[in-house]
């Protein structure tokens, strides 16, 4: 995820099929004070607080990309359906090819989980955004829920075009010497390799309960990781922390590893593998 036109173009040129922007709100937001990000044994813990320049200024970045062929998925967050609709309409007018409704941030008060854990709110917001826009709408949901399948079904009832699963896992780290949480916000979201089994399980559960595509995300750093998500039911995947672990070569390497596995196992089309773990 990124918010700078140059960075988005550079990532696309390294092999990404599309770019998901940083989550953008109506107004500029500084986020939480440092420390906001720490690396742990098997992943990354962060509590950024949804920092972003606001939709007005961000529009200038998207407009720079209009002449390119980069498919852009605009990620947005809001406190209610009115804010989501306003953001969605602006993202569409700036040239976004699709929308991702972030209803799953685990550490931003008033946003994220407070909305994404309510089935009726998820359905209502999704429906309102779909009515107000003409581009595909994906709903990003959280692993920090007991009723993740119900939330996915609510998004489907709101006419979502797809489900994105998962966001980060709610977590924290204690400094033994200081005897206090390391993050300024105390609680953050854990991402990276350690959450892949959680993400695969969530995609598996969601795939069984909805009839719309699922986009898998969480801890994908190798082609085998990606294939696990696909076999669980993902029609596409998002890559984030792999950029941290494997740099911008991650996209090409993961695609190459998928192709090698498919060739070795006699598959010609990736669609043949979507959801095969359910048979």
Contacts of 131 (CB under 8 A, 6+ apart): none
Token pair for 99: 């929308």
Torsion angle of C-alpha atoms 111, 115, 117, 120, degrees rounded to 10: 180
Which of the following is catalytic: 14, 105, 202, 255? 105
Among 221, 222, 105, 107, smallest CA distance to 164 is for: 105
Residue 164, phi then psi, degrees to nearest 5: -110, 125
Torsion angle of C-alpha atoms 168, 174, 178, 182, degrees rounded to 10: 0
CA dist 81 and 93 (Å) reads 18
Annotated active-site residue 202? The verdict is: no
Torsion angle of C-alpha atoms 265, 271, 276, 279, degrees rounded to 10: -120
CA dist 115 and 162 (Å) reads 18
Determine the Cα angle at 176 with ends 175 and 178, to 5°.
Answer: 65
CA dist 204 and 274 (Å) reads 11
CA dist 144 and 106 (Å) reads 8
Token pair for 92: 């569409």
Catalytic site positions? 105
């Amino acid at each position: 995820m990124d918010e700078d036109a140059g960075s988005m173009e550079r990532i696309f040129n390294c092999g990404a099929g599309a770019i998901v922007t940083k989550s953008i709100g109506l107004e500029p937001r500084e986020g939480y004070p440092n420390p906001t990000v720490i690396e742990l044994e098997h992943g990354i813990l962060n509590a950024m607080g949804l920092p972003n320049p606001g939709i007005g200024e961000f529009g200038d970045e998207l407009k720079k990309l209009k002449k390119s062929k980069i498919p852009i998925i605009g990620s947005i967050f809001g406190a209610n359906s009115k804010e989501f609709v306003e953001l969605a309409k602006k993202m569409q007018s700036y040239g976004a090819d699709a929308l991702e409704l972030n209803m799953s941030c685990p550490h931003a008060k008033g946003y994220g989980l407070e909305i994404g854990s309510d089935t009726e709110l998820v359905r209502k917001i999704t429906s309102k955004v779909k009515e107000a826009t003409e581009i595909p709408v994906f709903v990003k949901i959280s692993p920090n829920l007991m009723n993740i399948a119900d939330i996915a079904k609510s998004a489907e009832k709101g006419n979502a075009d797809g489900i994105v699963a998962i966001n980060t896992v709610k977590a924290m780290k204690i400094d033994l010497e200081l005897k206090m949480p390391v993050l300024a916000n105390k609680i953050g979201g854990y991402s990276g390799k350690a959450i892949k089994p959680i993400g695969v399980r969530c995609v598996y559960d969601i795939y069984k309960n909805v009839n719309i595509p699922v986009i898998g995300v969480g801890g994908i750093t190798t082609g085998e990781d990606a294939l696990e998500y696909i076999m669980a039911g993902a029609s596409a995947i998002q890559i984030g922390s792999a950029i941290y672990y494997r740099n911008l070569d991650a996209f090409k390497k993961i695609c190459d590893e998928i192709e090698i596995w498919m060739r070795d196992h006699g598959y010609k089309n990736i669609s043949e593998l979507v959801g095969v773990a359910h048979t």
